[in-house]
Structure 1
Amino acid sequence: MYAVLLTAAAALLASGCDDAGGLASAGKTPMAEGPVRLWPELPPVTAPPNDYGETDTQRVPGIKAPGDDVHQLDPVAVVQAEANAHPDTYTGADGLYEETVAQLAACKEKPRSCPVMRPYYRDLTGDGRDELIIGIRLPEQQTAVRCYTPEEGGLTRIMSTSDQLVSVDLAGKDVILRSVSAGIPGYEYRTAWSWDEQQRAMLPARDEIVRVKPSRSADPAPAAEPAPAPEPDAS
C-alpha cells in the first residue's frame, strides 16, 4: 500500500510540470546585429566643423534687464535694437526684410500691422529664470522665432531661426517648430530646439520628417427639400 501511494505521488508531481503557469520556451532569440562602419578608409576631415549655434548667440545692444527679469522688457524694443545693430543685414540669424524693418518703426502708430507677435516666457535653460520667446511675422508666409536669456542685467539672444511654420509649441524646456516640407506632400518637418550648456545656446537637437494625417473635411450639409407646391384654389 505504501508503494502504491509513492507511485501515485510521483505521477502527480510529474503531471504538474505540464500545468498552466509553468515555464515555456519563447522560441529562438534573434541574434543582435551590432553597428557596421561603412567605408572605414574615408580620410579624416582637414578642419573641425564650426560649433553649431555660435553665430546665433549675441548680446542685444542697448537692452537692460534689471534683476534679470525679461517680463519687464518690451519685445518690440528688443527686435528694434537688433535691427538697428544690423541695418544692412537681410538674411541669416540677424537679418530682417526691409518691409519688416519699416513695420517695426511704425509699431506705435500702427500696432495692428506690427510684425512682433505676443511674447511668451519659459525657463529654457534650467536656471530658474524665464527666457523671452518672440515671434516675428515676415513676408512670404515666413515666421522668425527668437529666444533671449537675461545675463548680468542685459539680454543675450540664444536662438534665431525662420521658416514657413505651421505651429510653434513648448514642451518642457524644448521649443518645437513644425514647418511645411518642401516637395514632400503629406509630410512636415518637426525640429526640437533644446538648450546646450556647452554652447550656451538653443540648438536643433532633434529633427524629423513626420507624415501628417489629412484633415477630414466637414460633411456637406444636406440639400434642403423643395417646398410643397400650393394646392389649387377650390373656387
Structure 2
Amino acid sequence: MRPHRVSAAPRTAVSALAALALLTGCGAAGGLKSAGDAPSAVEPKSLWPELPPASSAPYDYGEGETARIPGIRVTGGDVRRLDPVTVAQAGLKAKTDRDSGLDELPDGTARQIEACRTAPDDCPVLPPYYRDLTGDGRDELVLGIRMPDRQLAVRVYMPDKGRLTRIMSTYDAVISVELAGRDLIMRAPSVIPGYEYRTAWSWDDRQRAMLPTRDEILRTPEHRKAPKPSPDSTASSAGTR
C-alpha cells in the first residue's frame, strides 16, 4: 500500500499544535508520560547466503491449474441456473491448461458421477454453494465430490464470457470446508496429535485462478487452551499429599 502524503503546511500546523499540547500538559494531572525508548528494529538475517537459489519447483501441487468445461453455457453469467450434476459430468471431459494429475478423480468416483441420474443414492456430488470469490460481482459455483477414504474433492467454477471455467481443483481428507469473505478455507487433520492443517485459497488476478495463499499448521480448537483441572481432581490431589 502506498502511504498517504501530507503537504508541508498541514504538517507544520500539526507539529505546532502537538508542541503546544506538550508544553501546556506538563505537570498537569493526567498529562502525557513517556513510555520509554522504543525497541530497535532487528534486520532479518539471511542464512547460508552462498547457496544458489532454486530455479524450479520440485513438485506440482496444481496451483493455478484451470480448465474450460465443455458443453456448458452460463446464461446471463448466473451459475445458480446450472445443474451441479451436469457440471460435474461435463468436468470429466475437461482438459486442463497443464497436467498436474491432481484434477483426475478415481475411476470408481467418475463412474458414480456418470450414473448420478440412474443411481442418485450413490451420487458423490454434494449440494452446491455460491459465493463471489473473484470480486467481479458474480457468484462462483463451489462443488464438493465425495471420494474414497473420506476424502473430498473441492472445485470452484467461474462464469467466463458465457462459458464455465474451473478455477480451483484440489482434494484432501478434510475436517471442514468454509467460505470466509472471498476465501475458501480447508481444514485437514495432521499426523501430529492436537494439530490440524488449514489452507486458505484466494483468487489471483494474474493467474486467473484460486491459489493457496495461506497454509498453516495450528492447534485444534479443543487443544488451543489447556484444560482447567476440575474441583474434584484438585481435591483428590490435595488429599494425597
State the TM-score, normalizing by the size of structure 1: 0.75
Distance in 1 separating the partners of 2:211 and 2:121: 32
1:158 to partner: Cα distance = 0.2
Q: How does 1:196-215 map to 2 (within 5 A)?
A: 196-214=204-222
SS at match of 2:46: coil
Structure 1 match to 2:168: 159
AA of the residue aligned to 1:53: E
1:48 to partner: Cα distance = 8.0
- Structure 1 unaligned segments of length 5 or more: list them: 1-15, 217-235
Cα RMSD (Å): 2.5
Single out whichever of 39-48 and 194-203 deviates more from structure 2: 39-48
1:52 to partner: Cα distance = 6.6
Q: Percent identity?
A: 58
AA of the residue aligned to 1:135: G
AA of the residue aligned to 1:99: G
Residue from 81, 84, 100 that aligns with 1:75? 84
Tell whether the 8 Å contact from 2:61 to 2:102 is kept in structure 1 after alignment. Answer: no
Paired residue total: 195
Tell me whether 1:53 sits opposite 2:63 in the alignment: yes
Residue from 106, 129, 137 that aligns with 2:146? 137
Distance in 1 separating the partners of 2:43 and 2:214: 23
Tell whether the 8 Å contact from 1:176 to 1:192 is kept in structure 2 after alignment. Answer: yes
Tell me whether 1:188 sits opposite 2:188 in the alignment: no
Tell whether the 8 Å contact from 1:82 to 1:94 is kept in structure 2 after alignment. Answer: no
1:47 to partner: Cα distance = 5.1
| Higher Cα radius of gyration | 1
Answer 1 or 2: which has greater helix percent: 2
Q: How does 1:1-235 map to 2 (within 5 A)?
A: 20-46=29-55, 53-54=63-64, 56-85=65-94, 92-181=101-190, 183-214=191-222
State the TM-score, normalizing by the size of structure 2: 0.73
